[in-house]
Amino acid sequence: MSASRPIVLRTGYRGQTGMLNWALHRVTGLGIVLFVGMHVIAAFGMQQFANDLATAVTAFYESWGFQIFVYFCVLFHAFNGTRLALVDLFPALLRYQRELYWLQWIIFLPAYLLPVFFLLQTGLAAG
C-alpha cells in the first residue's frame, strides 16, 4: 500500500492580485441577494400581514449602516463586473490585469467614500 497523499484542489488560482476582487465579488453578490430577499419578504409581510416582524426588517434595511453595506455591494459588484466584462470582450486587456485592478479601485474609492461621508454625516447627526 502506498502512503496516502493529501487532496489538492486544482483551481489554477495562485493567490495573486485578483484575490481580493475575486472574494469581494462573491461576497457583494451575496449581499445584493440578501438585500433583495429581505426587501421582497418585508414588502410581502407588510402588504399581507402588516406585522411587527416585517416592520422590523424594513427598519433594519432602511438603517444607514445597512445602506452603506448595500451601497458598497452594488457599487463594487458593478465596477468589478464591468472590468470582467471588458476583459472578456477584449482579451488583449489580459496583459493589463494589474493596471485594470488599480484603475477599478481608483475609480471605486471616491465613488464610494464621498456618498458614504455624507450618509454618515446625516446618519450621525440624526442619531
Assigned C-alpha cell, 56: 422590523
**pLDDT by residue (tens digit) across 68-117?**
999 999 999 999 999 999 999 998 998 998 899 999 999 999 999 999 99
pTM: 0.79
**pLDDT by residue (tens digit) across 8-40?**
555 555 666 678 888 899 999 999 999 999 999
Spatial CA neighbour of 39 closest among 61, 55, 56, 69: 61
Which CATH number fits the domain 19-126, given the four candidates 1.10.3470, 3.30.200, 2.30.30, 1.20.1300?
1.20.1300
DSSP class per residue in 91-123 = GGGGGGHHHHHHHHHHHHHHHHHHHHHHHHHHH
Residue 20 CA to its chain's centroid (Å) = 12
Specify the residue for cell string 484603475: 103
